[in-house]
Amino acid sequence: MIFPGGIPLKQDVQCVGAVGVSGGDNQQNQAVAEAAISAL
């Protein structure tokens, strides 16, 4: 199960890592995680 604030990093079909954020509410955590992914 994936929770808001957790986003897997995939290359092709393989999971190569993840970004996980906590400390805020679900919407805040998800927004920060998505910003981190966008910065990569």
- Kindly tell me if the per-residue pLDDT of 39 is higher than 80: yes
Residue predicted with more confidence, 40 or 24: 24
Question: In the chain, what are the domain boundaries?
Answer: 6-39
Helix (H, G, I), strand (E, B) or coil at 35: helix
- Kindly tell me if the per-residue pLDDT of 1 is higher than 70: no
Tens digit of each residue's pLDDT (9 = 90 or more) over 4-36:
999 999 999 999 999 999 999 999 999 999 999
